[in-house]
Chains A and B, each alone.
Chain A
């Protein structure tokens, strides 16, 4: 037996106006709007990586504590402290111009980090024992450990004991 065809066309023509029921649609939109507004990240810490930087990502959905502090960024072409270029890099490596040049680069990085630390200490509460000890490091996922080590050494020498590696996680 062939299936019975269902049709929405009624035999009698409707004469009355059929107003569109958009109340339920408005309800759905409100729910979507609330969900989207909730998922907007509205944290205290403002972290915006420089354009072109690809942060490494986590593989698990662990949550870590956020802290505020100066930012150091390791890009393919430069090391930035508080978004100001301090050391020039060539494909994540320090330009090979001799030992003096490497020392000069390290010293300028150390100086920039020390200045940032003193600024941060002034901003934060004087009562906080760990004030000015946190440094946020944002590095491209392709950055080699050798370059990161230079930044970490300079950070440790400048007095930052707590290093925060900024990475991407899943929401």
Chain B
């Protein structure tokens, strides 16, 4: 922004000075309005797949060699079940303060991914009383390692 506040006296021309005070007034009102109305939270979308039982049955012959199921339980513990030629189950307890141990889940998922690199899809499920917030946290953690998530029973 440039200022026209300097005065020039050239051959009898009068001084012209831009009055910025009303501009400042407008800016103050605009900025106050924007500060009040702006939200510093954004909306995000987590994409997940859903399947019906009939679809699962029809795709039974296309089942991949290795599948992983992550189940969140009431006590904020996890059960990771790998099915296939080498079925394995891992259990992850809750953290010391009784919350979901997302770091442990992430490291376990990385280990599973390293052991079975062909693993693409993961099925996430939870006990009926598990809160949606906890489910979102699990989906977010799993997505960082395995992006294709199907919500299951």
Q: What residues make up the interface of A, taking CB atoms closer than 8 Å to B?
A: 19, 21-23, 25-27, 29-30, 32-33, 36-37, 39-41, 43, 47, 56-60, 62-67, 74, 136, 139-146, 148-149, 152-153, 155-157, 160-171
Which DSSP category, helix, strand, loop or mixed, fits chain B's interface? mixed
Place the interface of chain B in its size category.
Answer: 35 or more
Q: What residues make up the interface of B, taking CB atoms closer than 8 Å to A?
A: 1, 3, 5, 20-21, 23-24, 27-28, 30-31, 34-35, 37-52, 55, 102, 125-133, 135-137, 139-140, 143-144, 151, 153
| B127-A145 in contact (CB<8A) | yes
Task: Give complex CA distance A144, B128 in Å.
Answer: 6
| B45-A166 in contact (CB<8A) | yes
| A145-B46 in contact (CB<8A) | no
Contacts of B128 in A (CB 8 A): 144-146, 149
Among residues of B, the one whose C-beta sits closest to the C-beta of A41 is B42
| A141-B133 in contact (CB<8A) | yes
Among residues of A, the one whose C-beta sits closest to the C-beta of B30 is A33
| Among B5, B31, B52, B139, contact of A156 (Cβ-Cβ < 8 Å) | B52
Task: Give complex CA distance A36, B31 in Å.
Answer: 8
Which DSSP category, helix, strand, loop or mixed, fits chain A's interface? mixed
- Name the distance in Å between B52's Cβ and chain A's nearest Cβ: 4
| A149-B24 in contact (CB<8A) | no
Could you list some 18 contacts between A and B, CB below 8 A?
A22-B24, A23-B3, A26-B1, A27-B1, A29-B31, A57-B41, A64-B44, A67-B45, A67-B47, A136-B45, A144-B128, A145-B125, A156-B50, A156-B55, A161-B49, A163-B48, A167-B46, A168-B43
Among residues of A, the one whose C-beta sits closest to the C-beta of B153 is A149
| A167-B45 in contact (CB<8A) | yes
| B28-A169 in contact (CB<8A) | no
| B23-A26 in contact (CB<8A) | yes
Among residues of A, the one whose C-beta sits closest to the C-beta of B35 is A36
Other A-B pairs beyond A26-B27, A144-B128, A146-B128, 13, CB < 8 Å: A27-B1, A33-B30, A36-B31, A40-B38, A56-B137, A57-B136, A141-B131, A141-B133, A143-B132, A144-B129, A145-B131, A153-B52, A164-B46
